């Protein structure tokens, strides 16, 4: 939101005196919810970066056997929750890249003016 506000000519700030009590439902503390949040946030950020930069994120695609070795390494070396979070991050990135590749002409042109920031090519 802050990036879009800056694009529209607004500013942002840090207010030390501001206090906020954020109440959340206990369902937002479950492992399933947090992993979905990682995946969907990664997807959204990848799409936003591609739209803002006019190019897809630079992610190196590895051959299938390197991905399998990476999955085995993660299973052996990482804590379960860290591994699941990494895999959710990778799924979010892969989903974004698939959509970016399908609509690469739209992303390569980038935003033409500030009002184009709301244009979403995959919803046409």
pLDDT tens sequence across 41-66: 999 988 888 888 766 565 556 777 88
- The rounded percent of the chain whose pLDDT value lies above 90 is 35
Q: Does some domain include residue 12?
A: no
Other beta carbons within 10 angstroms of residue 124's beta carbon come to 7
Dihedral (CA of 56, 62, 68, 69) sign? negative
Q: Does some domain include residue 119?
A: yes
Q: Does some domain include residue 18?
A: no
Q: Does some domain include residue 13?
A: no
Work out how many domains the chain is built from and give that number. 1
Q: Does some domain include residue 73?
A: yes
pTM: 0.68
DSSP label of 13: -
Q: Cβ(47)–Cβ(96) under 8 Å?
A: yes
**Along the 124 residues of the chain, how does pLDDT read in single tens digits?**
777 888 888 888 888 999 989 899 999 999 999 999 999 999 998 888 888 876 656 555 677 788 889 889 989 999 999 999 999 998 998 899 888 888 876 665 555 544 444 444 444 3
Other beta carbons within 10 angstroms of residue 92's beta carbon come to 22
Q: Does some domain include residue 6?
A: no
CA–CA dist 75, 49 (Å, integer): 30
Q: Does some domain include residue 17?
A: no
Q: Does some domain include residue 20?
A: no
Residue range(s) defining the domain that contains residue 118: 26-123
């Amino acid at each position: 939101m802050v990036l879009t506000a800056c694009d529209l000519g607004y500013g942002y700030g840090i207010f030390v005196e501001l206090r906020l009590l954020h109440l959340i439902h206990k369902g937002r503390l479950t492992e399933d919810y947090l992993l979905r949040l990682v995946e969907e946030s990664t997807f959204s950020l990848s799409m936003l970066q591609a739209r803002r930069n006019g190019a897809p994120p630079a992610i190196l695609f590895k051959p299938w056997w390197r991905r399998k070795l990476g999955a085995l390494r993660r299973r052996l070396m990482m804590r379960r929750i860290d591994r699941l979070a990494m895999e959710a991050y990778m799924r979010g990135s892969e989903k974004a890249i698939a959509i970016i590749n399908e609509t690469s002409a739209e992303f390569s042109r980038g935003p033409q003016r500030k009002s184009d920031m709301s244009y979403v090519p995959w919803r046409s």
